[in-house]
């Protein structure tokens, strides 16, 4: 890893957590910064490798690509695994043909930390340990306090107003639905 380089960023200690990716030059909106790589494993194998319940604070390099496949950036991964989460991100994760790419959402200036919204799935029943396990340290004014996906808003009415059009755009973070034990979380890309 010592010799690994990326044309857009370098690793530095981050005020958010551990190490982070900091831009070394101006990155224009839409730039594909890096592919999120690593060993592609099944969900079951990911669960065997990492047990959130035994962690004091959640820390993994997993990225869920679809219902059954997870990229483990901790094995055979690249520098993308050091990109931290923010509730006010300047980058996003995009899935294309089962590959994940990190792209700039806006112009990122040299020295800025590159950040995307992990949107960890809230699978299963909420658990009181989640606040501690998934606490967010991004420091953004709109920080939601957690690296988990925002909670679903309660529907005001079951009936849509007459004439209302159905949205064709999927909201960020909606991947294939998964029924998982409460504590297992992986990052999920915007589709
Ligand atoms: C893919 S790693 C990111 C790189 C990490 N900073 C490192 O040095 O290994 C993901 C882990 O970083 C931590 N992390 C990333 N963004 C965070 C945030 N906004 N608040 C708290 N922890 C964060 C969490 O522990 C998460 O599981
Ligand atoms: Zn936050």
41-84 pLDDT, tens per residue? 998 999 899 887 778 788 889 999 888 899 999 999 999 999 99
- What is the DSSP-derived secondary structure letter of residue 21? E
Which pLDDT band holds residue 169 (cuts at 50, 70, 90)? very low
Average pLDDT over all residues of the chain: 82
Sign of the CA dihedral running 87, 91, 94, 99: negative
Residue 55: nearest ligand to its CA? 1
Q: Which CATH superfamily is domain 9-133 in?
A: SET domain (2.170.270.10)
Given a cut of 60, whether residue 33 has pLDDT beyond it is yes
CA of 77 to the centre of ligand 2 (A): 25
Residue 145: nearest ligand to its CA? 2
Residues linked to residue 85 through DSSP beta bridges, in sequence order: 116
Which pLDDT band holds residue 155 (cuts at 50, 70, 90)? low
Nearest CA to ligand 1 atom 23: 17
Q: Indicate the burial class of 164 (C-beta count within 10 angstroms; 0-12, 13-18, 19 or more).
A: exposed
99-153 pLDDT, tens per residue? 999 999 999 999 999 999 998 887 777 788 888 889 999 999 999 999 999 887 7
Q: What is the pLDDT of residue 110?
A: 98
Does residue 78 contact residue 128 with C-beta atoms inside 8 Å? Answer: no
For the chain, percent of residues with pLDDT exceeding 90: 56
């Amino acid at each position: 890893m010592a010799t690994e380089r990326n044309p857009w960023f370098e690793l530095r200690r981050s005020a958010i957590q551990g190490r982070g990716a900091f831009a070394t030059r101006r990155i224009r909106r839409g730039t594909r910064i890096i592919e999120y790589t690593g060993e592609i494993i099944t969900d079951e194998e990911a669960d065997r490798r990492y047990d959130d319940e035994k962690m004091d604070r959640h820390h993994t390099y997993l990225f869920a690509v679809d219902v059954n496949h997870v990229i483990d950036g901790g094995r055979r991964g690249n520098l993308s695994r050091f990109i931290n989460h923010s509730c006010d991100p300047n980058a996003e994760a995009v899935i294309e043909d089962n590959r994940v790419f990190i792209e700039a959402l806006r112009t990122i200036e040299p020295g800025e930390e590159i950040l995307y919204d992990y949107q960890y799935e809230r699978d299963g029943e909420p658990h009181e340990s989640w606040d501690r396990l998934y606490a967010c340290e991004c420091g953004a004014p709109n920080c939601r306090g957690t690296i988990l996906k925002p909670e679903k808003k309660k529907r005001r009415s079951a009936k849509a107003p007459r004439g209302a059009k159905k949205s064709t755009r999927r909201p960020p973070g909606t991947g294939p639905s998964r029924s998982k034990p409460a504590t297992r979380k992986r990052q999920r890309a915007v589709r």
